[in-house]
């Protein structure tokens, strides 16, 4: 729906506002872009890397978190802001959830993000650590971000992201390296078991199965075990008996 005539008059008559705060959606995206760009350039073997693992990961988390928020009734604004900023302080290593939460508390007040929701965003960011959990999270928004972050690490999408990221860092030179890298992600079953929300749990199961099927197919193609006569052992025995 376009702008009505009344709204146009209102906009034209509006006084320019001093200290207009940044639009939060654009601001959180830009903040993450800058952080991802730094992280990627630092870790990459190339001066101008074509693929940014961190940026693509965060974009996937935002999409997933927004969908989960819709399906679970979680606060969409808290989720979207937290998803964009959850890895903004990744350079702090294991402390990046805490540092990311601190960043959100400082950064979001400079934007038009609803002030009363800012502490909740920080709580959600701080809670996203770990690939699996012994104790489930209890806050719905924290559950949604945790599930969204981990959903991007157990399926075919994760495989594409890891391999692309590892190529950019010169960690993969051979097909065997790629297979080894994918085989090493054995922890994924614990991640699936740690999902909090129902839609994430269902998707996690499917993604887990799809990843394993893909890895088996990759191994079979590389080892050429999928190329055979088309007659399995049982068939070939029958064939030999009948041809006597
Ligand atoms: Fe993280
Ligand atoms: Fe993440």
Three-state DSSP class for 181?
helix
The Å distance, Cα 36 to ligand 1 centre, comes to: 12
The Å distance, Cα 94 to ligand 1 centre, comes to: 8
The Å distance, Cα 83 to ligand 2 centre, comes to: 8
The Å distance, Cα 13 to ligand 2 centre, comes to: 44
Contact 27, 111 (CB under 8 A): yes
Structural domains in the chain plus CATH codes = 18-222 (1.10.3210.10)
From residue 111, alpha-carbon distances to 3, 28, 56, 170, 216 in Å are 24, 9, 24, 39, 48
Q: pTM value?
A: 0.86
Residue (of 238, 218, 234) closest to 226 by Cα position: 218
pLDDT digit of tens for each residue in the chain (244 aa)? Answer: 444 444 444 444 555 555 678 999 999 999 999 999 888 888 777 777 889 999 999 999 999 999 999 999 999 999 999 999 999 999 999 999 999 999 999 999 999 999 999 999 999 999 999 999 999 999 999 999 999 999 999 999 999 999 999 998 888 999 999 999 999 999 999 999 999 999 999 999 999 999 999 999 999 999 999 998 876 666 656 656 565 5
The Å distance, Cα 177 to ligand 2 centre, comes to: 24
pLDDT score recorded for residue 225: 95
In the numeric block, which tokens belong to residue 83?
Answer: 């998803």
pLDDT score recorded for residue 42: 80
pLDDT score recorded for residue 231: 67
Instruction: Measure the CA–CA gap between 213 and 182, rounded to whole angstroms.
Output: 12
The Å distance, Cα 58 to ligand 2 centre, comes to: 6
Residue with tokens 């806050």: 139
pLDDT score recorded for residue 2: 45
**Ligand at shortest distance from the CA of 145:** 2
The Å distance, Cα 92 to ligand 1 centre, comes to: 10
């Amino acid at each position: 729906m376009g702008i009505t005539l009344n709204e146009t008059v209102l906009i034209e008559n509006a006084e320019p506002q001093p200290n207009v705060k940044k639009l939060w959606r654009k601001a959180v995206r830009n903040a993450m872009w800058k952080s991802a760009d730094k992280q990627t350039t630092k870790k990459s073997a190339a001066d101008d890397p074509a693929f940014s693992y961190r940026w693509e990961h965060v974009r996937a988390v935002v999409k997933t978190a927004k969908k989960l928020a819709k399906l679970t009734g979680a606060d969409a604004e808290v989720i979207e802001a937290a998803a964009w900023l959850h890895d903004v302080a990744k350079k702090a290593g294991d402390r990046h959830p805490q540092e990311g939460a601190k960043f959100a508390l400082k950064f979001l007040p400079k934007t038009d993000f609803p002030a009363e929701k800012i502490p909740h965003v920080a709580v959600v960011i701080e809670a996203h650590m770990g690939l699996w959990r012994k104790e489930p999270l209890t806050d719905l928004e924290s559950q949604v971000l945790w599930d969204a972050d981990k959903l991007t690490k157990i399926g075919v999408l994760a495989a594409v992201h890891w391999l692309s990221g590892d190529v950019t860092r010169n960690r993969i030179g051979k097909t065997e390296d790629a297979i080894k890298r994918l085989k090493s992600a054995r922890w994924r079953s614990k991640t699936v078991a740690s999902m909090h929300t129902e839609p994430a749990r269902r998707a996690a199961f499917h993604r887990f199965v799809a990843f394993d099927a893909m890895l088996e197919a990759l191994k079979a193609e590389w080892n050429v075990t999928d190329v055979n006569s088309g007659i399995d052992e049982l068939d070939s025995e029958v064939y030999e008996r009948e041809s006597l």
